[in-house]
């Protein structure tokens, strides 16, 4: 009797554990089933290489959204990588363990703040500043990049600190014993040893930036055209879905799911690369 | 020109310190800005009355109820799945291949953007399963989103239970499941609770996935098939449509206070828990 319970429990738990992979597959199937027919109908080339998006006339080209996503994400990395890495190095190498134990969760709190709050701050503080001092409508690639740059900080900082902390003490001691200064030790020894973890943190941050929706909707202006400067408004893949899903029907709805397919593929590629890098390090 | 390593060391330390200062300043600024303008709006009346004129006046009672019910449904669905999965991943390491695949699935699920969850929930729960915009559709979608968090934190918690505990239990003749149920889980409970609390935090702050699955009705829900509007969605609609800046700040203040409290509680539980085990 006991044995039967044991086996039943194990199989039951396995089933629960498999739910994670089942959900991933389920989500992929639904997005692809609803989205790919339109990609086949308009042709992949027309879908991703045309910038003409006018659902009422049956024109579904998402080039401007792809570029919008890339620009805003790229911009967020320009801000997020130096700031995040500097912060991670400082907290890992220059402060006492006790201070790090307090500051790391404090910074992780940034990740817990809802994305609508970031968007709201963006609209109320950042956008007016950009409009006043740099010109343009304010709602722009730049505003989106800055807000996303802040939003990816906790991802970059937290994972980078873990990577830096995983470098054995003896590496640092060896270098210091040879007469190197602390900074020489950090950039010649510690950073090299922690490289893959740091790269993974950046890729995961990138995934977060590409996938972010609500904050971007509020600050990026959402115009369907290829931005000519960082002060122009733009629309990303995620915001395209969120803005039009509420009223889309028929092929228009399919086109939004097709946008989701492109987004899903990009995110999965980034995820897989990051996991691969982290695993290699282990 | 070569800079003396000692000088460059000083300069770098300064730069890194400033960067850390900037990051902390941003965090502090966000909290102070939102609470500073939001808390004055708060009153018992604001929390306990219905919104009037689409939220231009009145309070936020139904959005508090909506947030609460939706999060509750998500947690009820996600907790057994997530904790069960974590137990299997740590305790039953029979087939390595399956474990690798499951862990990969959970990690990828954690990286999927919320708008994709929203699309998925809309097409499966709302349309195909005909649940409509409802607490159930929204709760199921949120459950999918928070399962990776619960799996990861529970796994960490179960791993920190010393191996000797299990050995003692097994040597006394307990079966594996009895050991898990009576020895491992009680000891891992604080960590598991932390994971659930973090899941609650994520559910409360979510907007993109919720707006497409739970809708935005401002009525008090009477069944699981009613549409609700969460505080995050309400805050988004108020500020995006320019309905009322004052009420937007008030809603955001409630939201921020909840999120801060949740993170503090999670940190506190985790801190006590790890210290006890060291």
In B, minimum Cα distance to A90 occurs at B16
Quick one: B30 and B125 in the same domain?
Answer: no
Task: Please answer whether residues A51 and A225 qualify as being in contact, where contact means their C-beta atoms are separated by less than 8 angstroms.
Answer: yes
Q: Which helix (H) or strand (E) holds A239?
A: helix A237-244
Distance from CA of A45 to the nearest CA of B (A): 23
Quick one: B53 and B112 in the same domain?
Answer: yes
Q: Tell me, what DSSP letter sits at residue B2? A: P
Report chain A residues whose CB lies below 8 A from the CB of B144: 23, 27
Q: How far apart are CA A104 and CA B239, in angstroms?
A: 31
Average the pLDDT over each of A246-255, B137-146, B249-258 and give the range with the smallest value.
A246-255
Q: Determine the average pLDDT of the residues in A221-250.
A: 91
Structure tokens at A138: 């304010």
Quick one: B140 and B155 in the same domain?
Answer: yes
Is B208 close to A263, i.e. CB distance below 8 A?
no
Quick one: B140 and B31 in the same domain?
Answer: no
A38 touching B, CB under 8 A?
Answer: no
Residues 119-178 of A with CB under 8 A from B: 119-121, 123, 125, 150, 153, 157
Q: Determine the average pLDDT of the residues in B14-25.
A: 95
Q: Determine the average pLDDT of the residues in A112-116.
A: 93
Is B84 close to A256, i.e. CB distance below 8 A?
no
Is A271 close to B111, i.e. CB distance below 8 A?
yes
pLDDT band (50, 70, 90) for residue B94: low
A182 touching B, CB under 8 A?
Answer: yes
pLDDT of B190 > 80? The answer is yes
Q: Name the CA dihedral angle for B121, B126, B130, B134, rounded to a multiple of 10 degrees.
A: 110
Distance from CA of B175 to the nearest CA of A (A): 8
Q: How many domains does chain B have?
A: 2
Interface predicted TM-score (ipTM)? 0.92
Report chain A residues whose CB lies below 8 A from the CB of B259: 112-114
Residue B47: which CATH number? 1.10.3720.10
User: Residue B275 has what pLDDT?
Assistant: 57
Quick one: B19 and B146 in the same domain?
Answer: no
Q: Which domain holds residue B15?
A: 5-40
Report chain B residues whose CB lies below 8 A from the CB of A31: 116, 119-120, 123
pLDDT band (50, 70, 90) for residue A151: very high
Quick one: B82 and B14 in the same domain?
Answer: no
User: Residue B278 has what pLDDT?
Assistant: 42
Quick one: B21 and B109 in the same domain?
Answer: no
Q: What is the mean pLDDT of chain A?
A: 92
The pair phi, psi for residue B3, each rounded to 5°, is: -90, 140
Quick one: B34 and B121 in the same domain?
Answer: no
Quick one: B32 and B144 in the same domain?
Answer: no
Quick one: B52 and B105 in the same domain?
Answer: yes
pLDDT of A17 > 50? The answer is yes
Quick one: B168 and B34 in the same domain?
Answer: no
Quick one: B46 and B35 in the same domain?
Answer: no
A90 touching B, CB under 8 A?
Answer: yes
pLDDT of A280 > 80? The answer is no
Is B106 close to A20, i.e. CB distance below 8 A?
yes
Nearest to A260 among B27, B119, B267 (CB): B119
| Interface A:B, Cβ pairs < 8 A | 247
Task: Please answer whether residues B165 and B184 qualify as being in contact, where contact means their C-beta atoms are separated by less than 8 angstroms.
Answer: yes
């Amino acid at each position: 009797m006991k044995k039967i319970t044991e086996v039943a429990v194990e199989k039951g738990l396995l089933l629960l554990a498999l739910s994670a992979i089942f959900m991933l597959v389920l989500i992929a199937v639904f997005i692809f089933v609803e989205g790919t027919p339109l990609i086949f109908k308009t042709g992949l080339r027309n879908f991703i290489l045309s910038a003409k998006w006018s659902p009422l006339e049956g024109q579904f080209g998402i080039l401007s959204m792809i570029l919008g996503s890339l620009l805003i994400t790229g911009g967020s990395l320009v801000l997020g990588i130096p700031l995040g890495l500097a912060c991670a190095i400082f907290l890992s190498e220059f402060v006492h363990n006790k201070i790090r134990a307090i500051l790391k969760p404090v910074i992780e709190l940034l990740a817990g703040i809802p994305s609508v709050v970031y968007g709201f701050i963006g609209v109320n503080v950042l956008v007016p500043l950009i409009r006043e001092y740099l010109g343009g409508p304010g709602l722009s690639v730049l505003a989106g990049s800055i807000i996303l740059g802040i939003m990816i900080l906790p991802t970059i900082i937290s994972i980078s600190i873990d990577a830096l902390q995983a470098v054995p003490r003896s590496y640092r001691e060896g270098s210091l014993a040879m007469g190197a200064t602390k900074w020489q030790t950090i950039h010649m020894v510690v950073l090299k040893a922690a490289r893959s973890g740091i790269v993974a943190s950046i890729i995961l941050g990138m995934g977060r930036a590409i996938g972010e929706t609500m904050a971007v909707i509020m600050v990026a202006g959402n115009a369907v055209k290829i931005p000519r400067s960082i002060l122009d408004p733009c629309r990303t893949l995620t915001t395209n879905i969120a803005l039009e899903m509420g009223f889309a029907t028929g092929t228009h709805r399919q086109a939004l799911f097709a946008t989701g397919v492109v987004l899903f593929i990009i995110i999965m590629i980034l995820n897989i690369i990051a996991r691969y890098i982290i695993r290699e390090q282990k | 020109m070569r800079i003396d390593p000692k000088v460059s060391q000083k300069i770098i330390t300064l730069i890194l310190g400033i960067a850390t200062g900037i990051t902390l300043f941003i965090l502090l600024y966000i909290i102070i800005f939102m609470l500073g303008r939001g808390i004055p709006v708060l009153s018992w009346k604001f929390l306990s009355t219905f919104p009037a004129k689409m939220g231009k006046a009145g309070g936020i009672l139904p959005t508090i109820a909506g947030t609460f019910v939706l999060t509750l449904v998500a947690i009820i669905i996600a907790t057994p799945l997530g904790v069960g999965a974590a137990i299997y991943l740590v305790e039953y390491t029979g087939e390595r291949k399956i474990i690798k695949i499951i862990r990969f699935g959970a990690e990828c699920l954690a990286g999927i953007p919320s708008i994709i969850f929203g699309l998925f929930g809309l097409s499966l729960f709302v349309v195909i399963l005909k649940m409509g915009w409802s607490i159930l559709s929204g709760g199921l979608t949120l459950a999918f989103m928070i399962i990776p968090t619960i799996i990861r934190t529970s796994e960490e918690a179960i791993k920190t239970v010393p191996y000797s505990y299990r050995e003692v239990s097994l040597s006394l003749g307990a079966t594996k499941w009895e050991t898990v149920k009576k020895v491992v889980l009680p000891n891992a409970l604080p960590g598991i609770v932390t994971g659930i609390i973090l899941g609650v935090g994520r559910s409360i702050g979510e907007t993109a996935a919720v707006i497409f699955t739970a809708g935005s009705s401002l009525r008090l829900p009477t069944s699981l098939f009613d549409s609700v509007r969460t505080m995050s969605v309400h805050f988004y609609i108020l500020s995006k449509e320019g309905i009322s800046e004052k009420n937007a700040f008030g809603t955001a203040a409630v939201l921020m206070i909840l999120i801060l409290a949740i993170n503090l509680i999670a940190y506190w539980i985790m801190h006590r828990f790890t210290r006890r085990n060291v």
